[in-house]
Amino acid sequence: MASLWERIRALLGGSARTGAEQDDRAFYYYLLCGKCRTPLRVRVSKTTELAEEYEGPGDGVSGYVLNKDVICTKCFRRIHLTITYTAARREKHREITGGTFLEPEEYFQLTGAPRP
Protein backbone atom coordinates (compact mmCIF):
# COMPACT_ATOMS: atom_id res chain seq x y z
CA MET A 1 0.00 0.00 0.00
CA ALA A 2 1.32 3.43 -0.95
CA SER A 3 2.21 5.81 1.83
CA LEU A 4 0.30 9.04 2.29
CA TRP A 5 3.18 11.09 0.85
CA GLU A 6 3.40 8.90 -2.25
CA ARG A 7 -0.33 9.34 -2.89
CA ILE A 8 -0.11 13.11 -2.40
CA ARG A 9 2.88 13.29 -4.75
CA ALA A 10 0.98 11.29 -7.38
CA LEU A 11 -2.05 13.60 -7.05
CA LEU A 12 0.15 16.69 -7.54
CA GLY A 13 1.64 15.28 -10.73
CA GLY A 14 4.78 13.76 -9.28
CA SER A 15 5.70 10.14 -9.55
CA ALA A 16 4.85 7.77 -6.74
CA ARG A 17 7.25 5.22 -8.21
CA THR A 18 10.59 4.50 -6.68
CA GLY A 19 13.75 2.87 -8.01
CA ALA A 20 16.31 4.10 -10.47
CA GLU A 21 15.09 1.93 -13.35
CA GLN A 22 11.69 3.61 -13.32
CA ASP A 23 13.18 7.06 -13.79
CA ASP A 24 11.48 8.58 -16.87
CA ARG A 25 14.10 11.34 -17.02
CA ALA A 26 17.03 9.03 -17.73
CA PHE A 27 18.35 6.07 -19.67
CA TYR A 28 20.37 3.38 -17.91
CA TYR A 29 23.19 1.49 -19.60
CA TYR A 30 25.06 -1.50 -18.28
CA LEU A 31 28.73 -1.93 -19.16
CA LEU A 32 31.61 -4.29 -18.57
CA CYS A 33 35.08 -2.78 -18.30
CA GLY A 34 37.35 -4.15 -21.02
CA LYS A 35 40.40 -4.25 -18.73
CA CYS A 36 39.30 -5.53 -15.32
CA ARG A 37 35.84 -6.90 -16.26
CA THR A 38 34.03 -4.82 -13.62
CA PRO A 39 30.28 -4.41 -14.33
CA LEU A 40 29.08 -0.79 -14.26
CA ARG A 41 25.71 0.93 -14.37
CA VAL A 42 25.55 4.35 -16.02
CA ARG A 43 22.73 6.88 -15.80
CA VAL A 44 22.21 9.23 -18.76
CA SER A 45 19.91 12.24 -18.27
CA LYS A 46 17.50 12.69 -21.18
CA THR A 47 17.40 16.45 -20.67
CA THR A 48 20.96 17.49 -19.92
CA GLU A 49 23.35 14.95 -21.46
CA LEU A 50 21.94 14.54 -24.98
CA ALA A 51 23.19 16.98 -27.62
CA GLU A 52 20.66 18.07 -30.23
CA GLU A 53 21.37 17.37 -33.91
CA TYR A 54 19.93 19.37 -36.80
CA GLU A 55 19.78 17.95 -40.33
CA GLY A 56 17.72 18.92 -43.32
CA PRO A 57 15.46 21.91 -43.81
CA GLY A 58 13.79 23.69 -40.93
CA ASP A 59 14.70 24.46 -37.37
CA GLY A 60 13.50 21.19 -35.85
CA VAL A 61 15.67 18.74 -33.98
CA SER A 62 16.38 15.70 -36.14
CA GLY A 63 17.90 13.63 -33.35
CA TYR A 64 20.23 13.53 -30.40
CA VAL A 65 23.72 12.21 -29.70
CA LEU A 66 25.42 11.17 -26.48
CA ASN A 67 29.20 11.25 -26.09
CA LYS A 68 30.05 10.19 -22.57
CA ASP A 69 33.20 9.05 -20.84
CA VAL A 70 32.76 6.64 -17.95
CA ILE A 71 35.60 5.89 -15.53
CA CYS A 72 35.77 2.34 -14.20
CA THR A 73 35.38 2.29 -10.44
CA LYS A 74 38.02 -0.43 -10.03
CA CYS A 75 40.86 0.20 -12.52
CA PHE A 76 40.03 3.83 -13.46
CA ARG A 77 40.18 3.10 -17.19
CA ARG A 78 38.13 5.36 -19.46
CA ILE A 79 35.18 3.80 -21.30
CA HIS A 80 33.70 5.96 -24.07
CA LEU A 81 30.06 5.74 -25.18
CA THR A 82 28.63 7.20 -28.38
CA ILE A 83 24.90 6.66 -28.75
CA THR A 84 22.58 8.26 -31.31
CA TYR A 85 18.85 8.75 -30.84
CA THR A 86 15.89 9.76 -32.99
CA ALA A 87 14.04 13.03 -32.40
CA ALA A 88 11.70 11.03 -30.14
CA ARG A 89 14.75 9.92 -28.07
CA ARG A 90 14.64 6.32 -29.25
CA GLU A 91 18.04 4.69 -29.57
CA LYS A 92 19.31 4.30 -33.16
CA HIS A 93 22.93 3.23 -32.79
CA ARG A 94 25.45 2.57 -30.03
CA GLU A 95 29.23 2.26 -29.89
CA ILE A 96 31.58 1.64 -27.01
CA THR A 97 35.37 1.71 -26.68
CA GLY A 98 37.17 0.29 -23.67
CA GLY A 99 34.36 -2.06 -22.68
CA THR A 100 31.24 -3.89 -23.79
CA PHE A 101 27.53 -3.38 -23.26
CA LEU A 102 25.70 -5.75 -20.92
CA GLU A 103 22.02 -6.64 -20.76
CA PRO A 104 20.41 -5.60 -17.46
CA GLU A 105 19.96 -9.26 -16.48
CA GLU A 106 23.69 -9.91 -16.97
CA TYR A 107 24.61 -6.89 -14.84
CA PHE A 108 22.36 -7.92 -11.95
CA GLN A 109 23.58 -11.51 -12.15
CA LEU A 110 27.25 -10.44 -12.09
CA THR A 111 26.83 -7.93 -9.25
CA GLY A 112 24.27 -9.73 -7.16
CA ALA A 113 22.53 -6.38 -6.74
CA PRO A 114 18.75 -6.51 -6.30
CA ARG A 115 16.69 -5.34 -9.24
CA PRO A 116 14.95 -2.03 -8.57
**Percent share of the chain, pLDDT over 90:** 71
| pTM confidence score | 0.76
Whether the predicted pLDDT of 21 surpasses 70? no
* pLDDT grade for 68, boundaries at 50, 70 and 90: very high
For 8, what's the count of Cα atoms within 13 Å in the CB-facing half-sphere?
A: 3
Average predicted confidence (pLDDT) for the chain: 87
Contacts of 60 by beta carbon, 8 Å cutoff, 6+ apart: 54, 87
Please state whether beta strands 78-86 and 99-102 pair in parallel, antiparallel, or not at all (unpaired). Answer: unpaired
What is the spatial distance between Cα 66 and Cα 3, in angstroms, rounded to a whole number? 37
What is the spatial distance between Cα 96 and Cα 75, in angstroms, rounded to a whole number? 17
Mean per-residue pLDDT, 63-81: 97
Q: What is the DSSP letter of 33?
A: E
